[in-house]
Amino acid sequence: MGELVQPPKGTRDFLPEEMILRRKVMEAIRECFVLYGFVEIDSPVFEYFELLSRKCGEEIEKEIYTFKDKADRKLGLRFEFTSPLGRYYATNREKLTKPFKRYAIGKVYRYENPQTGRYREFYQADADIIGSYSMNVELELLNLAVFVLAKLEFDDYEIVINNRKVLDGIINAAGIGESKKDAALRALDKTAKIGEAGVIKEFKENGINEENYRSFMRFIDLGGLDDVKNLSILKERVNEAVKDESVRNKTAEGIEELLSIFENAGAIGLDFIKYDPLLVRGLGYYTGPIFEIKSKDLSIGSFAAGGRYDNLVELYGARPEGACGISFGVERIIDIIMQRDENALKSLSSPVKLYIVYLSENERLFAYNAARALRLNGISVELSVSVSPNISKEIKYADKKKIEYVAIIGEKEVDEKKLTIKNIKTREEKLISLEKLLKFFK
């Protein structure tokens, strides 16, 4: 016997019943995006590497799958949807209505160490708004997120928010120079994973001393007051510590953006959003508010995140535009559903509503015409392909595929122009006309 062939590391095969759940989750997200006025776009799964790597951050650049085509051009598989969106918008901006609200659902690729909730090939579902600098964009995206999660019956989660302008100000106030800023933020972004000792170790490896870390932590130790008061205190501290006026102004601007979000969140039912001074988000293109949504009861980490990236489209030749987006990690959402309910797959019904069995060649035309009529009315039907069907085996087949109803067509059914319909669960059966069957499934 030959060696079993497995999919590449970090990728997976999915069984039909798993695909029912996956499709259900993605269609629920898609439905919510459409309800909020977002339009779907599509773009290539691979782009020029130079385009993908523009300001994505050193760590992410290492994770991009790259290859050369036959003309020796270096290409890369998309690692998320935002960088390709920057290129897409710059290319098509004259044809787009602004603010441009787009969504995309598809596969992305990252060369990273596979673990729970992390894969090398995975689905993301993104919604973005380009063309506005207003914090109303952030509120709309966070409101959308809550709507999506309600649709998916998620309730035990938290939303945390920060601002890259504020982080930059605290980094400056802590005595960390501009050349070391990105390294410091990358280390701080790993705080939950590697702890304080790990962050200090990374600081030192990048030429940043421990006192800089301690100084940063003192700035964000705000006394546990409510977020609005905490941000006001932070504004005063940074004003006193930062000598560079432009940095002070940027930091103050970032704090005002957060205050605007907090002050308006309650009016739309988002009063549970929390300020997290250690939230970083690793991608280098973020310029303003950033946010993450995390499960409270599972150790799977964040399953949705995003932020503002006002300068991104400029990297691709367009003039700067206000832009902000959110991304849902489809794989993590599905993993959470599976952990939350071990019978999640068993409880799903088949999208096929009816399985039709015809007993001989004499009934073939009637069966095919009945199936066609049902399908034209949007009812999913599977026809048996057995030459000499065994009814008991056919019913077991349908039951295994979680199809609830079986239609049996023999001489009697053809003569009366009706179908014998059997409910597999209740074992009830009745002879019914096609017209009544259509009404029943409708």
Decide if 351 contacts 380 (C-beta within 8 A).
yes
Q: At what angle do helices 210-220 and 191-205 cross, to 10 degrees?
A: 140
Tell me: pLDDT of 21 over 90.
yes
Tell me: pLDDT of 356 over 90.
yes
Q: Tell me the sheet residues that pair with 306.
A: 291, 326
Q: Which amino acid is at 146?
A: V
Tell me: pLDDT of 416 over 90.
yes
> Lowest-pLDDT range, 138-142, 174-178, 249-253, 338-342?
338-342
How many Cα neighbours within 13 Å face the side chain of 29?
A: 26
167 vs 170: CA distance, rounded Å: 5
Kindly give the pairing relationship between strand 405-409 and strand 354-358. Answer: parallel
Tell me: pLDDT of 85 over 60.
yes
pLDDT score of 251: 93
Three-class HEC string of 149-173: HHHCCCCCEEEEEEEHHHHHHHHHH
Decide if 38 contacts 30 (C-beta within 8 A).
no
pLDDT score of 387: 86
Quick one: which of 368, 407, 403, 402 has its CA closest to 391? Answer: 407
Condensed to tens digits (0 to 9), the pLDDT of residues 229-247 reads 999 999 899 888 888 899 9
The residue written with tokens 């029912």 in the block is 20
Is the entire prediction scored with pTM above 0.85? yes
pLDDT score of 278: 92
SS3 content of the chain, % helix, strand, coil (to 5): 45, 20, 35
Q: Tell me the sheet residues that pair with 160.
A: 274, 292
Across 154-164, average pLDDT = 94
**pLDDT interval class at 284 (50, 70, 90):** confident
Tell me: pLDDT of 1 over 60.
no
**pLDDT interval class at 57 (50, 70, 90):** low
**Percentage of the chain with pLDDT > 70?**
98
Answer with the residue of higher pLDDT: 29 or 267.
29
pLDDT score of 2: 58
**pLDDT interval class at 298 (50, 70, 90):** low
| Structural domains of the chain, ranges and CATH numbers in brackets | 16-340 (3.30.930.10), 354-441 (3.40.50.800)
| Chain center to CA of 395 | 38
How many Cα neighbours within 13 Å face the side chain of 178?
A: 2
**What's the residue count for the chain?**
442
Tell me: pLDDT of 133 over 80.
yes
